[in-house]
Amino acid sequence: MPPEDATAPPRTLFEKVWERHVVARDAAGNELLFIDRHLAHEGSFHAFAKLAERDLPVARPDLTLLIADHYAPTRGRGAPIADPEVARVIDQLGENAARFGLSLIGLSDPRQGIVHVVGPELGFTLPGLTVVCGDSHTSTHGAFGAVAFGIGASEVAHVLATQTLWQRRPLAKRVRFSGRPDAGVGAKDLVLAMIAQIGADGGTGAALEYAGPTVEALSMAGRMTLCNLAIECGARFGLIAPDRTTFDWVAGRPLAPEGAMLERALADWRALASDPGAAFAEEIAVSVEGLAPMVTWGTSPEQAAPVTGRVPDPAELPTAAKRDAAAQALAYMDLAPGQPLEGLAMDRVFIGSCTNARLEDLREAAEVFRGRTAQVPTLISPGSSAVKRAAEAEGLDRVFRTAGVEWAESGCSMCVGMNGDLVPPGARCASTANRNFPGRQGPGSRTHLMSPRMAALAAVTGALGRPEESAR
């Protein structure tokens, strides 16, 4: 990386990383970025078809990593895939890897998992890089101080063919968290509280930098959860300045720099922080003082409230758009204005997804399950095969199985339901995933987003509640 110019005006973290990657600019204000890392899953077959049509090679095969995750079966792994369409899409990923000379992490690979878990796990994701993937939650990787964003099929093809991408530079906004939340409140609660405050359009198109002591105290798993959900308030990017927590997490990863190269990298990474006086398009303050665990009541992550609260009355919301959206959400979710959230019965529980399926998340859930029994069908799908092995080494799988919980293989699973893991029509699911849109977990399914701790509590009680340790 080039040395920082001491005479340059103060810049944000986002500006520093973005500007390092600008290859060219056009008269319309678009900028051509060099892409350091490209992750692709089964849905990339459209992009590979575009390359095949034009007989184009992949420009930098060493910078693309293919991973089977969205359609990955989480049950019966190793047996023939029953659904021919799922089997076809997964087979295509392997065929494209072979044809274009790309690295593949397939279903039988011990590194298999969700792209946004595996990339950081392997050290493929590093501070100061540009990272793209044909998945909106690529913002997850911004937890490392990377400029990471989701792209469409035509953009995936462009990256494969050129290792560059035309983009228009977005505005940078800073979100400062302050205050001491209740015990048992984690990153998922913090970010749901933020989205509820600023709305599903509060960060539209922007790069959100999360800052403040509350953020600095988070583990890397917590930081990835924050950045993962940046997209749910309309932002394109979520970023956190790398620090000692980041550096310690990255060191020793299989694809991370080592020795003298690591020392050089660390010297560069330490400069990846917003300068004092750097100008942001907006400063957003989020107080989490006394915040209780959050749950969603509607069909957007914006429609969330503390579990100690009640379903709002649409008539009391500030705009016609929010009133209409809330009314439609309540009809779909079969809820009434003023109804208490605590005690609302659940029919299913899902703990998994790129938002909350890391080892730390599973430990949190196991604390609740230990010595108790699930009252409703519960599925836990770890974020990666490595996470699964680590959880089993700690005996977490025994805790889950003893509680009557299904312990599955890694993959996107019930977050999006492409692999057949679905919530039945009309059923309520306590989910640690990132989206609660109508039909997201299956036609007619009703999804309530929450933390792993809250989802585990819903499993053992059959209803929304407040974990004992969160009460003062």
Q: How many helices (H) and strands (E) does the chain have?
A: 15, 19
Asked if residues 234 and 261 have their Cβ atoms less than 8 Å apart, the reply is no
Mean pLDDT of 350-357: 98
Residue 45 identity (one-letter amino acid): F
What does the pLDDT read at residue 182? Answer: 87
Are 392 and 461 found together in one domain?
A: yes
- For the cut 90, the answer to whether the pLDDT of residue 3 exceeds it is no
Q: Which long-range contacts (CB under 8 A, 24 or more apart) does 335-339 make?
A: 335/297, 335/311, 336/311, 337/311, 337/312, 337/313, 338/310, 338/311, 338/313, 339/310, 339/311
In a shared domain, residues 148 and 19? yes
Domain range for 39 is 13-169
114, 135, 169 — which closes off a domain? 169
Residue type, 206: A
* Single-letter amino acid, residue 259: G
Give the domain-ending residue among 140, 169, 198.
169
pLDDT at residue 468 above 70? no
User: Is 186 found in the same domain as 98?
Assistant: no
Q: pLDDT class for 471, splitting at 50, 70, 90?
A: very low
Q: What is the mean pLDDT of residues 246-266?
A: 97
Whether 366 and 443 map to the same domain: the answer is yes
Residue 206 resides in a domain: yes
Which pLDDT does position 308 carry in this prediction?
95
Cβ-Cβ contacts under 8 Å for 76 (sequence gap 6 or more)? 82
Same domain, 289 and 323: no
Residue 4 lies in a domain: no
| Model confidence at 472: pLDDT above 50 | no
Q: Does the pLDDT of residue 178 top 60, yes or no?
A: yes
Q: ∠ CA 175-357-401 to the nearest 5 degrees?
A: 145
| Prediction pTM value | 0.96
pLDDT of residue 183: 85
Percentage with pLDDT > 70 across the chain:
98
Residue 430: pLDDT band by 50, 70, 90 thresholds?
very high
347 and 279, same domain (yes or no): no
Both 397 and 442 in a single domain?
yes
Torsion of CA 309, 313, 314, 318, to 10 degrees: -80
Residue at 3 is within a domain: no
Residues 415, 310 within the same domain: yes
CATH of the domain at 81: 3.30.499.10
437 is a domain residue:
yes
Judgement on whether residues 328 and 445 belong to the same structural domain of the protein: yes
Question: Per DSSP, which regions of 13-169 are E strands?
Answer: 22-25, 30-34, 37-40, 64-67, 103-105, 130-133, 147-150, 164-168
Q: How many CB atoms lie within 10 A of CB 28?
A: 7
The model's confidence at residue 13, banded by pLDDT at 50, 70 and 90, is very high
In eight-state DSSP terms, residue 415 is: G
Bridge partner list, 79: 77
- For the chain, the domain total comes to 3
Do the domain assignments include residue 230? yes
Check pLDDT > 60 for residue 2: no
Record the tokens describing residue 152, joined without a space: 């469409």
Radius of gyration of the CA atoms of the chain, in A: 22
Are 139 and 220 within one domain? no
Does residue 411 have a pLDDT over 60? yes
Q: Which two tokens stand for residue 77?
A: 């792994």
**From the CB of residue 320, how many other CB atoms can be counted at a distance below 10 Å?**
8
Answer whether residue 300 is part of any domain. Answer: yes
